[in-house]
Amino acid sequence: MTTLSRRDLVAGAGAAALLGPMPTRAQGANIARIAMAGSIRTLDPTMTSSADEYIYDVLVFNGLVRIKEDMTIAPDLAESWSWDSSLKSCTFKLKPGVKFHNGREMTSADVVATFRRIVDPATGAIARNTFEMIEAIEASDPLTVTFTLKYPYAGFVDILGDRQAKIVPADAIETMATQPIGTGPFRFRSHTPGDRIVLVRHDDYFEKGLPKLAGVELRMMPEMSSRLNALKAGDIDIVWELNPEDIKVLRENPSLRVESVTSASWDTAVMNNTIAPFNDVRVRKAFHLAVDKRDVIDLTLFGEGAPVHSPIAPSSAAFATDLPIAKSDPAAARKLLREAGYPNGVKVPLVIPVGRATRERLGVTLQQLARPGGFDIEIQRVPAARYLAEVSGKAPLYVDGYLARPTLDTATYSFLHSTGVFNNLLWHYNNPEVDKTLEAARRAIDPVQQREHYVQLQRLLYDNPPGFFAYAVNFGCAYRSALKGVTAHPMRWFDLRNASFA
């Protein structure tokens, strides 16, 4: 067994180079340079899928609504919306006077064209399945658009905050992949594939006084070490998706600011509820008693995370703050195992992916922490390229992780409902009370009522967990201290509308 301690997991000496002095930015420069790990494959927001492309999306485009930092929904291009009594028709009033980057005013015709394109199978849009409930989209006047749904779905407004639901001009769709036009705070100027994208301020942006920056450059730099060195040299202003081990070191550099916010992305130890020993809820609960999630976060993420009870993140207004994070209680864990018919504890393999450093650490950490509670865990390593094919539906216990979803419904229903696609790939969980609660949340228009359903969901999962929800991962970005007004978002992007150099 590999044994870890906090000291074993101190960041490498290479990061210490980041503590050196940083050059001063040229006087008057007001362009933010962002280091990107991957290339931008398409400029069309309907087709973007990578984290790097999402950063580009939020700079250039707007949706009808936006997801706030507490994961609630606020108007964006829409001014208001209303439902009919059937929950199958939702009408949006658009903000007047919003201009695209080409100077034309946005109308309901653009919204109709955008969503008809998304749901058209011929488009191959990334978000087509997300919006499969749309039956029709109609404009009744230039600032009013109505969506008719195939079935009642109160979460529809929430999913309009999805990153691929950005509004584009109806008359520019054919050239969107190379000459994108949006309504966002920055407009497209140029794209050098594999090198950079240059954006400039949208002077007619509908939020008065914004943006404050003159422009943004997205520079492609695949290696994290290169991105961090460029930040130190003053060649880059923002580096994001920081490794947990780098964050503490970067915070010690007085020339930098570091934002580390609890994201809506989470890692888990998947327990297959159809395979012994995890087909017994007492064994699943015993694992929770054996392992203190705060220790897991310290050892795996260097403290850069937060405990969770479900896919609902602490950043969400629906997070159940009243549920305690259980401290490790090995004696209570062993007692539950005895009641489940395992007087000598359980021996079980834990599969981890090779080449995914954080998840490898998670697996080894769980192996160490669960042993006193009666879990004799044998680590099995599988290459990441064939990982899911090897473990899904086959392994009793394995580690995995999932990126942030834009709404509470998309974060929970598919993962926890007995008919959910992800549930039946992961834990094969079947809890009628959970099903009823998820279905009620889908029908709730009132935010307070909806929140109550999701809090109840977390209580049900606390008493009958499908697996071990380890933590929500922090989203970290570092930027030069002269750059003010950067806001990191739990959905793993950042807002530069209010950013400027001091």
Summarize pLDDT for 81-105 with one digit per residue, the tens: 999 999 999 999 999 999 999 999 9
Q: Do 155 and 273 belong to one domain?
A: no
- pLDDT at position 25, please? 53
- Taking only the tens place, the pLDDT of each residue in 164-201 is 899 999 999 999 999 999 999 999 999 999 999 999 99
CB 260, CB 303: distance < 8 Å: no
pLDDT in tens, 264-274: 999 999 999 99
For residue 6, being part of any structural domain is answered with no
Task: Indicate the number of domains in the chain.
Answer: 2
**Backbone dihedral angles phi then psi of residue 249, each to the nearest 5 degrees:** -65, -45
Residue 215 lies in a domain: no
Query: Which of 131, 156, 173 is the endpoint of a domain?
Result: 173
Contact indicator for 350, 363 with CB cutoff of 8 Å: yes
181 lies in some domain: no
Q: Is residue 106 situated within a structural domain?
A: yes
- Tell me what the mean pLDDT of segment 287-309 comes to: 97
Q: How far apart are CA 85 and CA 13, in angstroms?
A: 62
pTM of this structure = 0.85
Q: What is the CATH number of the domain that holds 399?
A: 3.10.105.10
The arithmetic mean of pLDDT across residues 260-285, rounded, is: 97
Residue pair 325/294 in contact by the 8 Å Cβ criterion:
yes
Name the pLDDT band for 14 (thresholds 50, 70, 90). very low
Tell me which of 173, 188, 209 is where a domain ends. 173
Say yes or no: 336 and 447 in one domain: yes
Other C-beta atoms within 10 Å of 2: how many?
A: 12
pLDDT in the model for residue 24: 52
Residues 153 and 295 in one domain: no
Summarised one tens digit per residue, pLDDT across range 212-239 is: 999 999 999 999 999 999 999 999 999 9
The residue among 429, 471, 455, 431 whose CA lies nearest residue 323 is 455
Residue 381 domain flag: yes
Would you say residue 214 lies in a domain? no
Band (pLDDT 50/70/90 cuts) for residue 4 is very low
Rg (C-alpha) for the chain, rounded Å, is 24
Here the CATH number for the domain that contains residue 159 is 3.90.76.10
Q: What secondary structure does DSSP assign to 473-484, as a single string?
A: EEEEEEEETTEE
Residue type present at position 478: A
Together in a domain, 271 and 160: no
Of the residues 140, 173, 206, which one is the last residue of a structural domain?
173
Has residue 151 been placed in a domain? yes
Distance CA 476, CA 474 (A): 6
Examine residue 219 and state whether it is found in any structural domain, yes or no: no
Same structural domain, 164 and 281: no
86 is in which domain, residue-wise? 60-173
